Amino acid sequence: MKHISLFAAVAAILLTGAISRADEKAPASPASPYAGTGDLVIDKPEDKVDVPPVPAPEGAIVLFNGKDVSDWTSNKGGECKWEVVDGVLQGKPGTGDILSKHLFEGAYKLHVEFRIPYEPNNHSQGRGNSGVYLNSHWEVQVLDSYHNDTYADGACGAIYSIEPPKVNAAKAPTVWQAYDIEFHPAKCEDGKVVERPTATVIWNGVKVHENTKLTKDSTPAGNGGDICKAGPLKLQDHGHPVQFRNIWTTPLKE
């Protein structure tokens, strides 16, 4: 009996250790990707401070009202299946990209605030991935770029596959960040492009692109089509519950 008890005790210890190691390797609960950042090393105190929310100014076109998804449709056709959680728009993995019902024609400034979940068991492009597509063609990348290496023109703040951000201005995951983007569309004559579109991107108050020429008609996963025509804003479903708030635009002079 003593030998059996000793065997059982050793087995219990080994099993407990296995469960503990399994727990350490298990991914964070998908229900709580914003619960905290665990033992993530924080470089500066301000990296854990949300950008202040910037509501739409008078006369702006509001693309998300904090209440519902009535101003959006699915890129696949039909209703937008993303969710509104505590007044913010949250991507619902597997439901597809979404498009604004508003179509953009001419130059505009876009303000959008975003929050990236903490996914410590993922890396590179698998960590908090989404994107803001100007006129549904050109992606300004959304990604967890805080202590997460990836290729330069795929990092957060990059104009995907065209140009990396000048600096990494990332805040820690779970913290609100912001893009202020000035977009000037292509100039066209007789339906042909005579001058390429450009974008200036300010990320968390830091200018990371200035009049960057958009040298492709569409970045990967962009909608393609005629860039001389008006197009919607697109937000990407890349399989991560990235959140958005205060999405609005104002016209710019050409």
Burial of 87 per CB tally in 10 Å (0-12, 13-18, 19+) = exposed
- 230: nearest Cα among 200, 244, 251: 251
DSSP letter for 186, please.
Answer: P
Residue 67 above 90 pLDDT?
A: yes
Q: How far is CA 81 from CA 51, 71, 75, 97, 99, in A?
A: 27, 12, 10, 9, 11
User: What's the mean per-residue pLDDT of the chain?
Assistant: 89
Are 246 and 53 in contact by the 8 Å Cβ rule? The answer is yes
Burial of 203 per CB tally in 10 Å (0-12, 13-18, 19+) = buried
Residue 8 above 80 pLDDT?
A: no
Pairing between β-strand 108-115 and β-strand 138-142 as defined by DSSP bridges: unpaired
Q: Can you give the pLDDT at residue 19?
A: 31
Burial of 119 per CB tally in 10 Å (0-12, 13-18, 19+) = buried
Beta bridge partners of 140: 132, 159
Q: How far is CA 135 from CA 41, 63, 106, 124, 145, in A?
A: 37, 13, 10, 26, 24
- 48: nearest Cα among 215, 194, 170, 201: 170
Centre a 10 Å sphere on the Cβ of residue 142 and count the other Cβ atoms it contains: 28
**Residue located via tokens 């913290």:** 175
- 199: nearest Cα among 188, 189, 218, 213: 213
pLDDT band at 75 (very low <50, low <70, confident <90, very high): very high
**Which residues does 46 contact at the CB level (< 8 Å), separation at least 6?**
171
Q: Can you give the pLDDT at residue 251?
A: 97
Average pLDDT over residues 42-70: 97
pLDDT tens figures, 102-150 = 999 999 999 999 999 999 999 999 999 999 999 999 999 999 999 999 9
Beta bridge partners of 107: none
Phi and psi for 13 in degrees, rounded to 5?
-65, -45
Q: Can you give the pLDDT at residue 4?
A: 44
Tokens of 171: 């805040």
| pTM of structure | 0.86
Burial of 47 per CB tally in 10 Å (0-12, 13-18, 19+) = middle
**Angle, CA of 130, 182 and 251, to the nearest 5°:** 115
Classified as helix, coil or strand, 114 is strand
Average pLDDT over residues 191-219: 97
Mark out the alpha helices in the chain (DSSP H runs): 2-25
Q: Rounded CA gap, 187 and 189, in Å? A: 7
pLDDT band at 35 (very low <50, low <70, confident <90, very high): confident
